[in-house]
């Protein structure tokens, strides 16, 4: 599924949650966030912390694959490379201290809006 904005990410999370037979409260408890946060994320919350988004995706058994836009074939962006490095660090979706040190610009936990804006600027 191609995710172009936070609304589409919310749709994906809702669909995966329902497919797993989980309520919003079940998922929230599983990934240690509030039910309200899950509700807002499913509605396309634009200011979600990236580390929490990765926690939810991991809790649903989903992986994030960042690809360059078709306008720049075979030319990955620096942000996409950093995101791939963080996602593959030690086979986990959660960034490790070593991975964070290698990509200090992502250490502060940018919002989904920031990440999407950066990806769109590079595309």
Q: Would you give the DSSP letter of residue 70?
A: T
* Spatial distance between the Cα atoms of 59 and 80, rounded to a whole number of angstroms: 22
pLDDT score, position 45: 86
pLDDT for the residue 39: 95
Which pLDDT tens digits describe the chain residue by residue (123 residues)?
A: 678 888 889 999 999 999 999 999 999 999 999 999 999 999 998 888 888 998 999 999 888 777 766 655 445 555 556 656 655 554 544 444 444 445 444 444 556 666 666 666 665
- Kindly report the pTM of this predicted structure: 0.54
For residue 13, what pLDDT is reported? 92
What pLDDT does residue 50 have? 86
Phi, psi dihedrals of residue 49, rounded to the nearest 5°: -70, 130
Name the residue among 17, 15, 19 with its Cα closest to residue 28: 17
Say which residue the tokens 């590079």 belong to: 122
Check residue 36 and give its pLDDT.
95
- Contact between 82 and 103 under an 8 Å Cβ cutoff? The reply is yes
Cβ(35)–Cβ(24) below 8 Å: yes
């Amino acid at each position: 599924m191609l995710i172009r904005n936070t609304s589409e990410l919310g749709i994906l999370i809702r669909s995966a949650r329902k497919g797993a037979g989980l309520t919003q409260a079940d998922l929230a408890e599983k990934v240690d966030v509030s039910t309200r946060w899950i509700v807002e994320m499913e509605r396309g919350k634009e200011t979600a912390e990236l580390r929490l988004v990765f926690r939810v995706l991991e809790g649903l058994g989903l992986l994030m694959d960042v690809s360059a836009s078709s306008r720049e074939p075979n030319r990955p962006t620096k942000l996409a490379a950093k995101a791939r490095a963080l996602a593959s660090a030690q086979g986990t979706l959660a960034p490790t201290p070593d991975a964070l040190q290698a990509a200090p610009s992502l250490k502060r936990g940018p919002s989904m809006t920031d990440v999407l804006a950066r990806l769109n600027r590079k595309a």
